[in-house]
Structures are given as C-alpha cells and as structure tokens.
C-alpha cells in the first residue's frame, strides 16, 4: 500500500509541476516517492525482468545510455531509462515511479540508467544491476568531484557493493583498467585498436601517468586522447588488457565515420570519432549481459547522436553547430572537429560557473587552445558569466577575440553577416537554453523573428 501511494503521489506532483510550468519535474517526484516509501527504488528496480544496465563515467554517459535504449527498443524490448539526464538518486527514482503503474508496478524488460559518480555508492545497491558500464575517467568539476583519484575510489567502493554485476570497462583507460584487479566482479573490456585521433584531440595534460601499484611512469605505444591508449608499466608489467570487443579499420565516408566491430562494418551517421567509444561501450555491455545484438548495426546506423549535445541548425542559410564542452578532454575533442573543417568558420564560446557547470573554471588552462588558432576561424566571440576568464585564456595564446554580454544578438550577427558556418561551444548551463532558442529560430527559418530574445 505504501509503494502504491508513493507512485500515485509522485505522478500527481509531476503533473502539477508541468501544469503550472514550474520546471521539468525530473527530480522532485522521486524525492516525494522516497519520502513516502524509502524502499521504492529497490522494489521497482527488482521488477525489471531481464536486467538493469548502469552507465558511469565522466564523458559519454548520456549518449551511451541513449544508444542502449535505442538498440533495445529496435529489437522489440520494453525499456525504461532516465533519458532526461537526471542521474542523481532523486532523478533516477523519478524515472522509475513515472514508468510504474500503481497496481502493477514496473513492466519493463530492461532499465538503462546513467548514474552520477557521486551518487553511485547509494544508488547501485538499490538498482542491483546486471551490468555496470564505465566509459572513462577524466578531471571534471573539481569543486564538486575533486581529483580523479577520489572519483576512482568512490566508484570502486560502489562496485564492491554489487559483486554480481558484470563490469564493462574501457580498457584503453589506464585509470579504469585498475578496477580489473581491485574488484571481484567478472569483467569484460573494449578498446580501439589503431590510431584514429589527430594531435588536436590530445590535450597535453594527462591523468593517471603513474602506475597505481608500483609508482613508475606508464609508457604509451599509442595515445588516443587523455590517458586513453595502449600503455604498459615498465616496473610491474601491468599493461592494457586485450579487449574483448574492439574497433578497427576506421575511415570516413561522407558524413559517416565507418569502422569494423565484431567482424561487421558499421556506418553510423557521425563524423566525431570519439563516438566510436560510445558505440563500442554499448555493444560490449549488451554482449556482456547476453542481451540482443542481432540488429545492433542497423539500429546504430539510424541513431541520432544529437541528444541536444551535438546539434546542427540551418537558419537563414547559415549552418550553426552547437556542442557541449564541459571539461578539458571534451573541449579538446571539439577543437579537433574545428581543425577538421577546412572551410571558413566563426566560433562562439560560452563559459559559465553555475553549480551545474562547476564553480572552478581553472580547467580552461588545461585545454590546448593553440589548435583553435590552427583552425583559423574568421571571428571568435566569447560570452557567459566567465567571458573575461575565457578572453584572458585566449590572450595568453595570442588569439584575438571579442567579448559579448548579449548572446542572442551575437549569434544573430555571426549567423547573418559572418561566414555562414558558426560553431557554438558551451558548458552545461548554456546548453539547453541555447538549444531551445535555436530550435525556435529554425522553426521560423529566420534569426530575426524572435524579438523577445532581446530581453
């Protein structure tokens, strides 16, 4: 009876939030349900018939989770997922209670759940996952997460509470691979077998340069980016594990980044090569939990990699590309994309320091902005609350830029009178407002249609 009341109250709260336009209702319904029935998440997760898949890691969680959701739906499975990206305990609980029926509970074959690293210790034992997928471990929001060693330890402690879950690890990550010897779980790994990333994708600052077991500096025979690559320790002999699933024969065909996976050539509609890791991760996870992979190739070739984090808009003859860049490694990948575009281009960089972004923006100094200079944009404009920090960072690289306080006006001016090829790089708090604004402009097909954006 308590759980039924919890589900009903959570659904009512969700409806009221949307009725009165008080937000997206991603977390509060879950908080209400937990207050009424503290065991509601564990109970509902236990009703998932074929297993819960958890995705952890610094970059790629939302994309990998969306791939898992899409592939499973493509193969006729009923899937529950926290697709809004609300990955703390309240947000995850919301996803379950909104998908539940007050009488029948959860009717789902799989649940695909991305989990914030700071929430893993309390959430994982409640979800009782069949598989825990780890994408990578990079420095991100130092004021919230701390250094990567602290994040690693929180993840390790969380995994110890779920010894029956199979681990799916990015074996190219020199930090994550330590979990193979430190956790009792059965594990599989995935990786990329050949050099596919250019120099612009590789920041100079690398995490995990020393072996955790003997302290010697790791030697890399191949670097992808960050600490991802092929490595070994000359002291204790620890080395990159041979991957159970891998990608090779990577090449570009038009707007598709093609590669071979498990003997099959995939042609996903993307040009960002770091997405190979996300596809690999999803495939390896489904195989590891004996999930359906028969139609994986066809599903991934139809998958939309947008997720509001990589979006392209066409407005008044201008191409506007919006990208999330929230930490040094992620930002470096976006600079690599700029370098790969040989045409004339303009760049707008927005940096904020809200609680959602992280108050500490010192990570900007770990990005190799010399590659922004190599991309040779016609104009660079910086904005956001920390626009002067961004401008100072570029000044040290002798890169001229213009500072703006009015972002919509700056976008309109660049799109209307610039190169007609605009890249916008933002961190979290700017991402969804800018995406919504560009969607409205694209619907009107005119960047001057929305005078309220002047407010």
Answer yes or no: do 415 and 266 share one domain.
Answer: no
Last residue of a domain, one of 243, 271, 301: 301
Domain harbouring 334, CATH code: 3.90.190.20
Residue 88: pLDDT over 90: yes
Answer yes or no: do 290 and 352 share one domain.
Answer: no
Answer yes or no: do 203 and 320 share one domain.
Answer: no
pLDDT digits (tens, 9 = 90+) for 25-61: 899 999 999 999 999 999 999 999 999 999 999 999 9
Answer yes or no: do 285 and 386 share one domain.
Answer: no
Answer yes or no: do 261 and 366 share one domain.
Answer: no
Answer yes or no: do 25 and 158 share one domain.
Answer: yes
Answer yes or no: do 218 and 260 share one domain.
Answer: yes
pLDDT digits (tens, 9 = 90+) for 321-330: 999 999 999 9
Q: Please indicate whether residue 307 or residue 354 has the higher confidence score (pLDDT).
A: 354
pLDDT attached to residue 450: 43
Last residue of a domain, one of 284, 301, 318: 301
Last residue of a domain, one of 249, 272, 301: 301
> In whole angstroms, what separates CA 7 from the centre of its chain?
29
Buried b / exposed e along 116-150 (16+ C-beta atoms within 10 A): bbbbbbebbebbbbbbbbbbbbbbbbbeebeebee
Answer yes or no: do 71 and 213 share one domain.
Answer: yes
Answer yes or no: do 282 and 314 share one domain.
Answer: no
Domain harbouring 112, CATH code: 3.40.1190.10
Residue 282, domain extent: 2-301
pLDDT digits (tens, 9 = 90+) for 206-262: 777 899 899 999 999 999 999 999 999 999 999 999 999 999 999 999 889 999 998
List C-alpha distances in Å: 373 to 99, 137, 338: 48, 28, 10
Answer yes or no: do 318 and 297 share one domain.
Answer: no
Answer yes or no: do 255 and 346 share one domain.
Answer: no
Number of domain units in the chain: 2
Alpha-carbon span 260 to 167, nearest angstrom: 23
Answer yes or no: do 294 and 415 share one domain.
Answer: no
**What confidence tier does 452 reach under pLDDT thresholds 50, 70, 90?**
very low
């Amino acid at each position: 009876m308590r759980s039924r009341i919890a589900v009903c109250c959570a659904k009512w709260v969700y409806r009221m939030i949307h009725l009165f336009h008080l937000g997206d209702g991603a977390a509060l319904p879950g908080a209400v349900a937990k207050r009424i029935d503290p065991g509601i998440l564990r109970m509902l997760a236990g009703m998932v018939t074929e297993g819960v898949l958890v995705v952890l890691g610094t970059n790629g969680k939302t994309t990998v989770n969306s791939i898992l959701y899409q592939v499973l739906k493509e193969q006729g499975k009923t899937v529950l997922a926290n697709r809004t990206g609300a990955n703390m305990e309240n947000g995850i609980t919301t996803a379950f209670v909104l998908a539940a029926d007050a009488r029948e509970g959860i009717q789902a074959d799989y649940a695909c759940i991305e989990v914030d690293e700071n929430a893993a210790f309390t959430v994982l034992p409640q979800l009782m996952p069949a598989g825990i997928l780890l994408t990578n471990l990079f420095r991100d929001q130092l004021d919230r997460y701390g250094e990567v060693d602290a994040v690693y330890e929180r993840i390790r402690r969380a995994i110890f509470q779920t010894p029956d879950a199979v681990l799916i690890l990015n074996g190219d990550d020199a930090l994550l691979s330590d979990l193979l010897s430190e956790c009792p779980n059965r594990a599989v790994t995935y990786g990329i077998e050949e050099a596919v990333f250019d120099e612009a994708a590789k920041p100079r600052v690398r995490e995990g340069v020393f072996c955790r077991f003997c302290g010697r500096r790791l030697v890399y025979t191949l670097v992808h980016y960050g600490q991802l690559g092929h490595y070994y320790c000359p002291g204790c002999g620890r080395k990159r594990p041979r991957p159970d699933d891998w990608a090779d024969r990577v090449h570009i065909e038009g707007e598709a980044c093609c590669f071979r996976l498990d003997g099959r050539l995939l042609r996903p509609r993307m040009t960002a090569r770091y997405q190979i890791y996300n596809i690999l991760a999803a495939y390896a996870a489904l195989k590891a939990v004996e999930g359906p992979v028969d139609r994986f190739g066809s599903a991934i070739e139809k998958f939309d990699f947008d997720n509001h984090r990589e979006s392209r808009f066409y407005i008044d003859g201008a191409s506007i590309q919006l990208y999330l860049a929230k930490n040094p490694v992620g930002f470096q990948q976006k600079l690599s994309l700029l370098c790969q575009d040989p045409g004339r281009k303009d760049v707008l960089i927005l940096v904020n320091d809200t609680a959602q972004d992280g108050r500490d923006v010192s990570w900007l100094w770990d990005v190799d902005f010399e590659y922004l200079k190599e991309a040779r944009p016609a104009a660079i404009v910086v904005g956001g609350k920390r626009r002067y920090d961004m401008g100072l960072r570029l000044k040290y690289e002798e890169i001229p830029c213009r500072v703006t306080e009015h972002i919509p006006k700056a976008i309109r001016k660049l799109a209307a009178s610039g190169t007609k090829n605009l890249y916008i790089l933002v961190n979290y708090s700017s991402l969804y407002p800018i995406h919504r604004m560009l969607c409205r402009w694209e619907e009107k097909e005119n960047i001057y249609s929305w005078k309220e954006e002047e407010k």
